[in-house]
Chains A and B, each alone.
Chain A
Amino acid sequence: KAGVTQTPRYLIKTRGQQVTLSCSPISGHRSVSWYQQTPGQGLQFLFEYFSETQRNKGNFPGRFSGRQFSNSRSEMNVSTLELGDSALYLCASSRGYSYNEQFFGPGTRLTVL
Chain B
Amino acid sequence: KNEVEQSPQNLTAQEGEFITINCSYSVGISALHWLQQHPGGGIVSLFMLSSGKKKHGRLIATINIQEKHSSLHITASHPRDSAVYICAVRHLNSGGSNYKLTFGKGTLLTVNP
Contacts and interface: CB of A to CB of B under 8 A. Distances in A.
B41 A107 contact: yes
Interface stretch (A16-24, A62-70, A74-82, A94-102): A94-102
A53 interface: no
Interface size range on A against B: 20 to 34
B42 A106 contact: yes
Q: Is the interface of B mostly helix, strand, loop or mixed?
A: strand
A36 to B, nearest CB: 11
A56 interface: yes
Contacts of A90: 41, 43
In the complex, the 7 A-B pairs of residues with the closest C-beta atoms, listed nearest first: A99-B31, A43-B103, A104-B43, A45-B100, A99-B30, A107-B41, A56-B100
Interface of A: 33, 35, 37, 42-45, 48, 56-58, 88, 90, 92, 97-104, 106-107, 109
Interface of B: 30-31, 33, 35, 41-45, 48, 50, 86, 88, 90, 98-106
